[in-house]
Amino acid sequence: MKKLILATVASLSMFMAVTAVAGDAAAGKTKSASCGGCHGMDGNSLIPMYPKLAGQNEAYIVKQVKDFKANGDRQNAIMLGMVAALTDEDAADIGAYFQSQSTKDAAPFDADKIALGRELYKGGDLQKGIPACQGCHGPTGAGVAGAGYPQLGGQYVDYTLAQLKAFKDGSRKNDANMLMRSIVEKMSEAEMTAVANYIASLK
């Protein structure tokens, strides 16, 4: 039985790895020209309200493009306009391009918030039932490309905090199985702010 489960998991992750390389990064570079104005031509956005996409995994980017398009579980008026004309192939190509880039710098952060942020990120809070973020987002915030778990490291505090709050108030509800919503419901604003600052410091 155990062997069967292992075999299933292995073939599933192989399937995911195959879908994750579907995009053509060279084509994506050209297609992403219109994204660069906000996200940076290489995905290193210079403006805190626009998330960095450099190094973000293709599977996650493709999913977000779909979710913005559907205009239900993740709503954003700016992105709705940007993704309207993208085909699935465009999204995969653009995703492959940004995945091939890397985050240049950590984002500005408040050093006073790092200790609590690190504690939550690395170990969670057993008493409150908050799991360690690194379990899914990786010890350095690189995410897990094969599973489509997003990279977080080096992201702007404003953006990360806005997303945590959106999961908390339910305005962002595109996380399968309520993975993120079930976590942030147990977190205070001070804890979300601390962890967002720690994430910004990761590179």
Distance, in Å, from the CA atom of 137 to the CA atom of 120, rounded to the nearest integer, reads 13
Figure out which of the listed residues 130, 142, 145, 202 binds ligand HEC, where binding follows CB under 6 A: 130
- Total chain residues near ligand HEC (CB under 6 A): 40
Q: Which long-range contacts link 41-46 to residues 24+ away (Cβ below 8 Å)?
A: 42/101, 42/104, 43/98, 43/101, 43/103, 44/101, 44/103, 44/104, 44/105, 45/156
Which region, judged by CB under 6 A, interacts with ligand HEC, from 3-11, 20-28, 105-113, 144-152? 144-152
């465009």: which residue's tokens? 90
- Per CB under 6 A, 194 contacts ligand HEC: no
Q: How far is the CB of 6 from ligand HEC (least distance, A)?
A: 20
By the rule CB under 6 A, 61 interacts with ligand HEC: yes
Distance, CA of 32 to CA of 149 (rounded, Å): 22
164 binds ligand HEC (CB under 6 A): yes
Q: Is 94 in the site for ligand HEC (CB under 6 A)?
A: yes
The rounded distance, in Å, linking the Cα atoms of 165 and 87 is 30
Give whichever of 14 and 185 is closer to ligand HEC, judged by the CB atom.
185
Exactly one of 183, 194, 200, 202 binds ligand HEC (CB under 6 A); that residue is 183
d(CA 24, CA 107): 29
Q: Which two tokens stand for residue 127?
A: 């008493």
193 near ligand HEC, rule: CB under 6 A = no
Answer whether 48's CB lies under 8 Å from 159's CB: yes
Binding residues for ligand HEC, rule: CB under 6 A, are 32, 34-35, 37-39, 49-51, 53, 61, 63-65, 76, 78-79, 82, 86, 94, 120, 130-131, 133, 135-137, 149-150, 152, 160, 162-164, 174-175, 179-180, 183, 195
